[in-house]
A and B are shown apart, each in its own frame.
Chain A
Amino acid sequence: DAGVIQSPRHEVTEMGQEVTLRCKPISGHNSLFWYRQTMMRGLELLIYFNNNVPIDDSGMPEDRFSAKMPNASFSTLKIQPSEPRDSAVYFCASSLSGMNTEAFFGQGTRLTVV
């Protein structure tokens, strides 16, 4: 398996533009997570899906952020409009439901908003 695949790996955009980050989880995994990593806040969970349904979105910072999982093999995280403080590395991770399972991370998308 190719692992969790995120695209793009790097994104530079201007303030006010819409940004869409994409994630393909590992085939067969039914839990998907979006994390954000910044120097100030470290790694924090934004949203968590189970069987394509959002379970916990309490970490989504504000209405400018939205996430979807239209099917088991694809998820998007959208920021509209983007702001410089959104600059961070965004990770997608997937796992099988169940307690004794490991979360596998993608390589992350480094977003820079100028």
Chain B
Amino acid sequence: AQTVTQSQPEMSVQEAETVTLSCTYDTSESDYYLFWYKQPPSRQMILVIRQEAYKQQNATENRFSVNFQKAAKSFSLKISDSQLGDAAMYFCAYRSSQGAQKLVFGQGTRLTINP
């Protein structure tokens, strides 16, 4: 079974600075999808960014980018120019390309933005 590990329960960053959230995963599959979800205090799960394993190029969405290292099974999220609205729980998630489309989540990282 696939597992996802987020080793940083909490992170903090100064507003306008850059922060990187770590995620590692374990799988025997070669094709899969990886996601970062944001969960603000409202509880809503919001997709931040996703990466297809077959793509070598790292995904980017505005201030959010990933560092996908397939061999190392690592998938970190970089947030540039941090804003107060970025404060939330961030979850890394894995989805197989075969069979069920269920998401396997990491334990989450609580990100605090210091003004």
- Residues of A at under 8 Å CB distance from B? 31, 33, 35, 42-45, 48, 55-56, 89, 91, 93, 95, 97, 99-103, 105, 107-108, 110
Residues of chain A lying within 8 A (CB to CB) of residue B104: 45
Neighbouring B residues of A44 by C-beta, 8 Å: 105
Q: Is the Cβ of A42 less than 8 Å from the Cβ of B105?
A: yes
B12 to chain A, nearest CB (A): 20
Contact B103 A107 (CB under 8 A): no
Interface size classification for chain B: 10 to 19
Q: Given the known A-B contacts A99-B97, A100-B52, A108-B43, are A45 and B102 also in contact in the complex, defined by CB atoms under 8 Å?
A: yes
Q: Is the interface of A mostly helix, strand, loop or mixed?
A: strand
* 27 residue pairs A–B, Cβ–Cβ below 8 Å: A31-B101, A33-B103, A35-B103, A42-B105, A42-B106, A42-B107, A43-B103, A43-B108, A45-B102, A45-B103, A48-B100, A48-B101, A48-B102, A55-B100, A56-B100, A56-B102, A95-B101, A97-B101, A99-B101, A101-B101, A102-B47, A102-B50, A103-B47, A103-B101, A103-B103, A105-B44, A110-B43
B-chain residues with CB within 8 Å of residue A48 when the two chains form the complex: 100-102
CB of A95 to closest CB in B, whole Å:
6
B residues in contact (CB < 8 Å) with A: 33, 42-45, 47, 50, 52, 91, 97, 100-108
Q: Contact: A91 with B33, CB < 8 Å?
A: no
| Extra inter-chain contacts (17) besides given A89-B43, A107-B44, CB under 8 Å | A31-B101, A33-B101, A42-B105, A42-B107, A48-B100, A55-B100, A56-B102, A95-B101, A99-B33, A99-B97, A99-B101, A100-B52, A102-B50, A103-B101, A107-B42, A107-B43, A108-B43
> Measured between alpha carbons, how far is A35 from B39 in the docked complex, in Å?
14
Query: Which 7 residue pairs across A and B have the least CB separation, nearest first?
Result: A105-B45, A43-B105, A45-B102, A108-B43, A42-B107, A56-B100, A99-B97
Distance in angstroms between the alpha carbons of A30 and B36 in the assembled complex: 23
Q: How far is the CB of A101 from chain B (nearest CB, A)?
A: 8
Contacts of B100 in A (CB 8 A): 48, 55-56
If A102-B47, A102-B50, A105-B45 touch, whether A33 touches B102 (CB-CB below 8 Å) is yes
Q: Are B52 and A43 in contact (CB under 8 A)?
A: no
